[in-house]
Structure 1
Amino acid sequence: MQTRLHSTLPEICVVGAGFAGLRCADILIQHGFKVTILEARDRIGGRAHQAMLLSGHLVDLGPNWIHGTDNNPILELAKTTKTAMHSWGDELNVFDEDGSQLKEGKDIGQVMWKIIAQAFKHSASNSATIDPNESLKDFFEQKILEEFPEQGDSQKKKILMQMAELWGTFVGSPVDRQSLKFFWLEECIDGENLFAAGTYKEILASIAAPALAGAKLELSTKVTHITSCSGVVSISTDTGRTLDFDEVVMTTPLGWLKRHKHVFEPPLPPRLCSAIDSIGYGSLDKVYLTFPRAFWLDSADGQEFTGFIQWLAPQYAKDMNPARWCQEVVDLSTLPGSCAHPTLLFYIYGEQSIAMANELASRMSKEERDEYLMEFFKPYVSRLPNYREDGKDCIPISCLATTWVLDDLAGNGSYSTLRTGLLEGDRDIEIMREGLPDRNVWFAGEHTAPFVALGTSTGAYWSGEAVGLRIADAYGKTAKDGGDVPEGKLGDGDVEKEVNLRVFADQGLEN
């Protein structure tokens, strides 16, 4: 790219103060630019935000996990800030559609992950020839006969397909809408996946510190129009102001871009619009139920009931859950040390997240919302060990639910996802990542991340870093800081390598 000629100190606007925006501002400041950050919320962090439970414990409303441990800058920040991490490994408890705990649940779960791994390699090796309308569910239906060939295995097949539905909790989209053609884009950084037991609070503070010290930050400022022409970018805000900059970096979520392409003047090029429209945007929300104590851990035989808990296609909760959505939980009572608290964290995705968010929005008081949540989740909690209808320890003392699907600033969702019908997924991401440097408009965020970090906080961080370095390069600035931002892709003949899926525990692959 031709080096920009500039006799004065260039002024850069970063729209959005999430991980991408804060990291981009940091890099730009290091290279001597004058930086203004415009953030529509009254706080920084975007979806990386925390809330305090009545128990006094802080919990994340956005990202909970660090996906991959090999050369991951977010993990390094976690270590630097002494943020506690945790892994439940492959601990899994499964309840069938009648509410009975399955003895073979863990074993069937391992088969499920084996097929996920096979789908990953199949996608990587055959992406060019896979029908765009073929889904991950289609692949499961093909492979299930190989895993359970006997006629008497019908129950295991049924359970396996119900478990497969919970892939949606990893990508925010149902398994029957997960693109098989571009499933390889779900690859994550190598290594283990860790739960941020100490939350993302200190990690966010560390990322934000340079930007807060060196940039001008304007909170509660919504961008309503962006005009880019003649080497100047004019930004209009909801307060009626017009601000001029040499460059603008848009770090707004993909879902926001989908709904607000009209704010750009001249209009965005057709190929960029197509890329924005083609990549899906997932919906994932969380519900925290906190109890007086973790009654489910009581055990006379010393066997601890912990880790992940799944309730598959429940038949026994039709009043509140007629669609029989599967439920998945992680048990926060077994986090390390002072991070532990008697709370169950439910992950809600897809149609359920939309329906539940609308139910909560229709209730005016917190008491009404809490009552709804307790009634909705009671059928599942009641299946846990040691539950008693009249037990005080078995009644939640607090409920906390996110509603990102109703949040316009979050793009009415959570992060990018790859859905059936997608024709050029990898190229779409590259088009968004490239941005419009000839119009002085750049894009960053998890949807423009390296392929090994799409949909993750690490990806957002790396995307902001990459844009900051590209702008510095455009002005002939000497590169400073900035780690190695990978562009990993499984499928260039290296189909025997081990890969790391965006899952709750590190899953190794078998040849």
Structure 2
Amino acid sequence: MMDQKESLSPTQKPHIGVIGAGVSGLRAADLLLRHGFQVTILEARNRLGGRVHQERLPNGHFIDIGANWIHGATNSPIMDLARETKTEVSSWDTISHVFNEDGDFLTLAESTYYFTTAWNIFGDAFEYSSKNSSGIAPGKSLMDFFRDDIDKAIPETEEDYEKKRHIVLQLAHLWGAIVGGSVDRQSLKFLWLEESIEGENLFCAGTYRKILQRIAQPAVDGADIRYATQVSEIHGKSSSTSADKIVKVKTTDGQVFDFDEVVLTTPLGWLQKNLQSFHPPLPDQLSKAIRSIGYGCLEKVYISFPTAFWLTPDANSRTTEGFCQWLSPTYALDTNPARWSNEAVELGSLPPSTAHPTLLFYIYGPESQHITSTLRSLPTQDAKNDFVFAFFQPYYARLPSFDPDSCRPTGFFATDWLGDEWAGNGSYSNFQVGLEEGDEDIRTMRHGAPELGIWMAGEHTAPFDALGTVGGAYRSGELVANRVAGVYGIVDAVTE
């Protein structure tokens, strides 16, 4: 952050509109207020936080329905806020527990071997992408790299090499549970943009609730926040006359706001669906950048039980702590004929003050579309319960110490970002095959259209080492606020 110069006098306060009250918008509002601007936030929802939000499970525990993780905790402003707010965080053993396609529970040694092999290939792919991005064909996917590299990782001289290769390639598909998009569609050319900040990734065991409250407090205290205010048109500045050097924002309920500058923090998916709302149209290069970057569909299904039975040793002394994967199941064809792999993290081994007997399933792609659309179509909560429990029962029933009578689910919560127009009908920017200028597209969005009085922030405009993360959204809000302040001479000029 640049050093602040003398703040504006009360009679000189430019009026800045911030569209969207997610993490980036709230952080931008905080710094803009510190710099002496008048700030109005237009938020379509009746709450703050955007895709960082909490709900309660039927068992009473708070859960995050958006971000769960703090990425790159070593130098993360979000980790600093977790410490400040005494928010509990947690980590698990990096080795996951794996069921193969026949439903057999692999030994820990087998799981360790397969995960180590898969993550070594992921590491090779990141390094290859970083060093050779300019020469990689846009159509080459991360899965293509896996198929090319698997022969080296598991040579024919290894016993059961074909079986081992098969399982590692199945594990590769769980990439989708990280970015909300298929490994077959992940751009190898721009894979390096998916690599987040160095440092440990920690689960936000206490949820983001207190962190969000801390981020939001300055805006709550100092900004004019207009809830349930949905933007329909944004009319950028014109250089023809001084009277036109304002940005007009129109809303669906007929309100018109005049601003000196607008900071646009809406999700990438919303931008992609609403390019027609800008008058004049956004510059061609910016519109192209917005259309070019992929947008994911990562969803979450929390299922709670009377106890965390999977932490009780079974007859073979097995327990399941941390992550668990069920690969390409052949045993659930009535509910999962496409054989989508599934991944869950268990919340029973969190710190005692935050632990609860719940499995959190991460789903993406066609599976997330199937789950969310089906739940939307069912008329009663009982019908929704029956559908979710029947769909996931083939997986949780294979966990250690499961008993069909004593381990019946007590409730669930499923996200539906795909059905949320203000989230842009999805979640998280990503980089898909066919992308030719991914890094330049991010830079273009980060730059925005300041000549029109339109500035941009959000996880899709974050620094390259934090794209798609809460920390990245937070930092993008800081950056854009300081850039606006730089134009008004309040801080030294800031480059994006």
- The TM-score, its normalising length taken from structure 1, stands at 0.91
**2:38 alignment partner AA:** K
Contact 1:120 1:184 in 2 (8 A): yes
Q: 1:91 aligns with which of 95, 98, 121?
A: 95
| Alignment map for 1:13-52 (pairs within 5 Å) | 13-52=17-56
How far apart are the structure 1 equivalents of 2:197 and 2:74?
A: 7
Contact 1:91 1:306 in 2 (8 A): no
1:225 matched residue in structure 2:
233
1:469-495 deviation line (CA, Å, top 9, x unaligned): 000000000369x9xx9x9xxxxxxxx
2:240 matched residue in structure 1:
none
| Alignment map for 1:99-110 (pairs within 5 Å) | 99-103=103-107, 104-110=110-116
1:317 matched residue in structure 2:
332
**1:434 alignment partner AA:** H
2:466 matched residue in structure 1:
453
How far apart are the structure 1 equivalents of 2:93 and 2:464?
A: 25
Q: CA deviation at 1:364?
A: 1.5
| Alignment map for 1:14-413 (pairs within 5 Å) | 14-103=18-107, 104-150=110-156, 152-229=160-237, 230-299=244-313, 304-389=319-404, 391-392=405-406, 394-413=407-426
**1:235 alignment partner AA:** V
**1:51 alignment partner AA:** E
1:503 matched residue in structure 2:
none
Contact 2:429 2:459 in 1 (8 A): yes
Contact 2:95 2:115 in 1 (8 A): no
Check if 1:419 corresponds to 2:432. yes
**2:336 alignment partner AA:** N
Q: Structure 1 stretch 440-449 or stretch 148-157: which is displaced more? A: 148-157
1:497 matched residue in structure 2:
none
Change (3 A) 1:479 1:50: farther
Contact 1:10 1:246 in 2 (8 A): yes
2:241 matched residue in structure 1:
none
Tell me, what secondary structure is at the counterpart of 2:113? Answer: helix
Tell me, what secondary structure is at the counterpart of 1:22? Answer: helix
Q: Which runs of 5+ in 2 are unaligned?
A: 1-7, 238-243
How far apart are the structure 2 equivalents of 1:106 and 1:373?
A: 30
Change (3 A) 1:369 1:350: same
Q: Structure 1 stretch 410-419 or stretch 49-58: which is displaced more? A: 49-58
1:402-443 deviation line (CA, Å, top 9, x unaligned): 010111100111110000000000000000000111111101
How far apart are the structure 1 equivalents of 2:424 and 2:374?
A: 19
How far apart are the structure 2 equivalents of 1:367 and 1:181?
A: 46
Runs of 4+ in 1 over 4 A off after TM superposition: 300-303
Q: Structure 1 stretch 471-480 or stretch 298-307: which is displaced more? A: 298-307
Tell me, what secondary structure is at the counterpart of 1:70? Answer: helix
1:494 matched residue in structure 2:
none
1:355-412 deviation line (CA, Å, top 9, x unaligned): 11111111021221111000000000111111223x22x2100011001011110011
Q: CA deviation at 1:36?
A: 0.1
Tell me, what secondary structure is at the counterpart of 1:176? Answer: coil
**2:308 alignment partner AA:** A
Q: Which runs of 5+ in 1 are unaligned?
A: 488-511
**1:256 alignment partner AA:** W
Contact 1:31 1:479 in 2 (8 A): no
Tell me, what secondary structure is at the counterpart of 2:202? Answer: strand
Contact 2:25 2:457 in 1 (8 A): yes
**1:11 alignment partner AA:** H
Tell me, what secondary structure is at the counterpart of 1:255? Answer: helix
How far apart are the structure 2 equivalents of 1:302 and 1:364?
A: 42
Tell me, what secondary structure is at the counterpart of 1:127? Answer: helix
